[in-house]
C-alpha cells in the first residue's frame, strides 16, 4: 500500500511516519536467524502500524528489535535518528523540499569526526531510506521522486584509497595471549577466553562466533572443526588445533541441546558484539597494547596478517576469512615487507659503492 508523502499534519509527524514504515520494512527484510522472541516481533510490527508520538518512542522500538536478535537494524536506524533530530530544526513544511544539497548539509554536521566506515553506514542508511520513499509514496499527481544518491558527498575520502587495518604483530599476539590466560574475568572466564581465542586463532568474524551452536563443533584427532554461518546465509568450515583451546573446553559440557548457542549470557541470549569487544579492549589495556581500534575485528586482521606473512598464499587467506572476493584479501599483502627489505638493501649498496 502506498501513502501520500506528506501524510501527517506537519513535517515532523510525516518524517516519523515514514521512519516507522522504513523501520518495519527493514526488520522484516533483515536476517531473523537469531530471533528469539517471535511474539515480541509481532507486537512491534503492530505498534509500527501507528506513528509513534516522538523519536524516543521509535528509538525504543528499534532497541527492542535489536535485543530480540534482528542483527543490523542499528546500521539503518541510528543514522536516520540523527538525521531526523537535525532536519526538524529547519522548520520545513513538506518532505518534497528535501534535496541532495540539504542532505549533504545535514550530514556534514552529524558525521563530523566519524571514521570513513561510519560515514559509509550513514550514506547507506539515508540513500536506502529515500529509495524506500520513492517506491512507497503516491499523491494525486503521482509519486514524488527523491534524487538522493550522495555520489559526490565530500564527507567520504574516496580518493584516499583503502585504509590499512589495525593489527597486532606476532610478538604483540604472544603478549596478548599471555595476558588473556592470566586475565581475571569477573564471571564466565572459560566462556570469554574461548570466544576470544577462537576469533584470534581462526580469524572468523565476531558475529560468526556468536552464531555458533553446539552442533557446529566437531572433533577429529587433534583438530576442532567449526561450521561457520557466514554472510549471505552461506556456510564454511574452519579448523584449529585443539591444544590451543583445550583448557576452556569444559565450558561446552554445560550446554545441553545441540541447537543451543554456545556463547550466551545470564539471560540465555547470545552475547553481543559490543560485549566481546569490551572484553578484548580490557585485555589489550592490561597488556599495554595500544591500537587505534581495539575491538574484536582487530583480532581478525591480526590473524589474517600473520597467515599471509607465514604462508604467502592469498587464496588461503580468502578461504580462511570467508571473503567473497580475492580483492578484499589483497589488503593483507601490504604488510608483507620482504620485498621492501630488498629495496632497502639496494639503497644500502648504492652507499657502499660511493
Report how far apart, in Å, the C-alpha atoms of 348 and of each of 54, 96, 352 are.
68, 65, 6
Residues assigned a catalytic role: 205, 231, 297, 300, 323, 332
B/e letters for 296-308, b = 16+ CB within 10 Å, e = fewer, are bbbbbbbbbbbbb
Q: C-alpha grid cell for residue 335?
A: 604488510
* Distance, CA of 123 to CA of 79 (rounded, Å): 9
Spatial neighbors of 9 by CB under 8 A, at least 6 apart, are none
CB distance 15 to 65 below 8 Å = no
Q: What is the CA radius of gyration of the chain?
A: 24
Q: SS3 for 260?
A: coil
**Triad 12, 13, 17: Cα angle to 5°:** 120
CB distance 232 to 220 below 8 Å = no
CA–chain centroid gap for 30, Å, is 14
CB distance 210 to 261 below 8 Å = yes
Residue 260 neighbours by CB distance under 10 Å: 13
Amino acid at each position: 500500500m502506498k501513502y501520500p508523502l506528506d501524510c501527517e499534519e506537519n513535517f515532523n509527524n510525516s518524517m516519523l511516519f515514514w521512519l516507522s514504515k522504513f523501520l518495519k520494512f527493514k526488520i522484516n527484510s533483515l536476517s531473523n536467524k537469531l530471533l528469539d522472541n517471535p511474539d515480541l516481533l509481532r507486537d512491534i510490527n503492530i505498534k509500527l502500524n501507528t506513528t509513534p508520538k516522538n523519536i524516543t518512542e521509535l528509538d525504543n522500538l528499534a532497541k527492542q528489535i535489536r535485543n530480540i536478535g534482528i542483527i543490523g537494524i542499528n546500521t539503518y536506524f541510528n543514522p536516520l535518528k540523527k538525521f531526523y533530530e537535525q532536519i526538524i530544526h529547519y522548520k520545513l513544511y513538506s518532505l518534497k523540499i528535501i534535496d541532495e544539497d540539504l542532505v549533504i548539509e545535514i550530514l556534514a554536521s552529524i558525521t563530523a569526526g566519524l571514521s570513513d566506515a561510519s560515514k559509509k553506514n550513514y550514506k547507506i542508511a539515508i540513500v536506502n531510506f529515500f529509495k524506500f520513499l520513492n517506491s512507497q509514496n503516491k499523491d494525486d499527481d503521482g509519486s514524488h521522486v527523491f534524487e538522493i544518491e550522495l555520489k559526490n558527498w565530500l564527507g567520504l575520502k574516496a580518493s584516499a584509497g583503502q585504509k590499512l587495518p589495525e593489527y597486532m604483530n606476532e610478538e604483540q599476539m604472544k603478549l596478548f595471549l599471555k595476558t588473556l590466560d592470566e586475565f581475571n574475568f569477573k564471571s564466565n572466564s572459560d566462556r570469554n577466553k574461548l570466544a576470544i581465542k577462537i576469533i584470534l586463532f581462526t580469524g572468523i568474524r565476531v558475529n560468526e562466533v556468536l552464531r555458533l551452536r553446539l552442533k557446529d563443533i566437531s572433533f577429529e584427532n587433534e583438530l576442532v572443526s567449526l561450521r561457520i554461518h557466514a554472510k549471505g546465509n552461506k556456510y564454511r568450515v574452519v579448523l584449529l588445533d585443539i591444544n590451543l583451546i583445550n583448557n576452556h573446553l569444559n565450558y561446552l559440557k554445560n550446554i545441553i541441546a545441540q541447537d543451543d548457542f554456545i556463547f550466551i549470557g545470564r539471560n540465555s541470549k547470545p552475547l553481543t558484539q559490543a560485549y566481546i569487544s569490551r572484553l578484548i579492549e580490557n585485555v589489550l589495556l592490561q597488556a599495554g597494547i595500544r591500537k587505534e581500534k581495539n575491538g574484536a575485528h582487530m583480532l581478525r586482521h591480526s590473524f589474517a596478517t600473520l597467515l599471509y606473512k607465514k604462508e604467502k598464499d592469498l587464496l588461503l587467506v580468502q578461504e580462511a576469512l570467508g571473503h567473497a572476493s580475492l580483492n578484499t584479501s589483497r589488503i593483507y599483502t601490504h604488510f608483507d615487507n620482504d620485498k621492501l627489505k630488498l629495496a632497502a638493501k639496494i639503497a644500502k649498496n648504492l652507499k657502499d659503492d660511493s
